[in-house]
Amino acid sequence: MPPTRHRFSRCPVGALGLLAAVAAALLTLPMVASATAPTIETSHTEGPGIFAGPCPNGVTLTAYNIEDVRITTFYDEEGNPVRLMIKVDDSGTVTNPVTGQTVENPAHETFFLDLVTGTESVAGLDFKATVPGVGVVFHDAGRVMVDAEGNVTFEAGPKDVFHTEGEHRIRANFCKALT
């Protein structure tokens, strides 16, 4: 009785020759140009800081941040940078040094910058101040899109800090939460 052929049995020599001929023909085709691969830069910082000026009651708040940033640069076919994506993860705290009261202030957001059109957008959690025993007292989250002239073209989500009037709107919100 002749042996049974398995579907994984060796190919006949003619099929190997055809496969080799097709492979050789593919190698002679012109290579298609592709865009430069994205580049990635990362940074990690941590440490204390102070706000640029005191609260209305005279107390100057302190901050401590641990921040990781990842910048991805995308390129066109000629190798020119066309878009940036900046991912920020921050686990920060802000403290009233007089009372010792502290609020957590995490941030997890992604910025998109179109280097060709000049448009920008940000999505994620920008600010979230949580006071123990009270809960979230202010936060900015969602998405904001800005045109090349700096005009907001789209906004979604709560924006307590973004809509605070005045020169020091971040400090104003933390002063209100901690003093």
Average pLDDT, stretch 53-65? 89
Q: What is the pLDDT of residue 10?
A: 28
Give every CB contact of residue 21 below 8 A, 6+ residues apart in sequence. none
> Is a pLDDT exceeding 90 seen at residue 9?
no
pTM: 0.72
Average pLDDT over every residue of 12-34: 42
| pLDDT (mean) for 91-96 | 90
Find the largest Cα–Cα distance for the chain.
Answer: 101
Predicted pLDDT of residue 177: 83
Q: In whole angstroms, give the CA distance from residue 76 to residue 177.
A: 46
- 3-state DSSP call for residue 79? coil
